[in-house]
Amino acid sequence: MAKTRRRQKSQAKKSAISPMMIAAVVGAAILIVGGLILISNQGKPGSGAASDVARYPTLGNPNAAVVIEDYSDFG
């Protein structure tokens, strides 16, 4: 009876997943996902670049002052 208890305990220890193993798998997954995001963003041209505005029809003085009015509820 004592031998079977020892076997059960040793088998339970072997089958248990350690927290260190879980942390390693989660860390590897984070690195892989981060790398994929980084690689996918490298091929894109810079955002916010001005397009060729000369081909679009415009009205008004091209040297007019720019006025920005901000309506917000953040204080």
Q: Side-chain half-sphere of 56: how many Cα atoms within 13 Å?
A: 6
What is the chain's mean pLDDT, rounded? Answer: 80
Instruction: Tell me the whole-structure pTM to 2 decimals.
Output: 0.41
**Per-residue pLDDT band at 17 (split at 50, 70, 90):** confident
pLDDT in tens, 30-58: 999 999 999 888 766 655 666 777 788 88
Q: With 0-12 CB in 10 A as exposed, 13-18 as middle and 19+ as buried, what is 28?
A: exposed
Distance CA 71, CA 11 (A): 66
